Amino acid sequence: MNNTKIVYFTRSGNCKRIAESIAGGTGGQLVEVKDNKNWKGFFGFLKGGYYATRNKEVEIYLIGEIGSEDDLVVVSPVWASGMPPAIRMFLKDKRRDDISLVISASGSSVNDKDGFKKVYEISQANGNESEVIDSIIGDLSVGS
């Protein structure tokens, strides 16, 4: 499974923890998406919601490498029923039908989840994180 890349963006650390669990169970490599904004604290939270609802763009960079033959699993939080700007920018030039999307939210879901190979939803309200991660690892193991 060395061509699986677990791509994630995190504000609070939840998506990093989820991505690390998936990578640990699959042998996939982590790739972090970073941007040029400060999303920390209450005002960062508000700014994130504003950027997400207005489809604002940000500059991104990756910590890790992605090749054209890599299988991608993207782990994203939900911000105001949307994806954070960094994930939107990352996905901008990618074919969604080649990507598995993992959404992590406190209770809501992301509006823009059409076209992905598979969508997994981790809901803190449902407490289903371990169950969904086990499902992802199983699905990725079958596909390899």
Structural domains for the chain: 4-143 (3.40.50.360)
Radius of gyration (Cα) for the chain, nearest Å? 14
Owner of token pair 């970073």: 34
Distances (CA, A) of 75 to 42, 43, 139, 144: 22, 23, 15, 19
Q: What is the pLDDT of residue 1?
A: 43
Task: Give the pLDDT score at 125.
Answer: 77
The tokens for 142 are 């079958």
| pTM given for the model | 0.92
Most confident segment among 31-35, 38-42, 47-51, 134-138: 31-35
Contact call for residues 116 and 95 (beta carbons, < 8 A): no
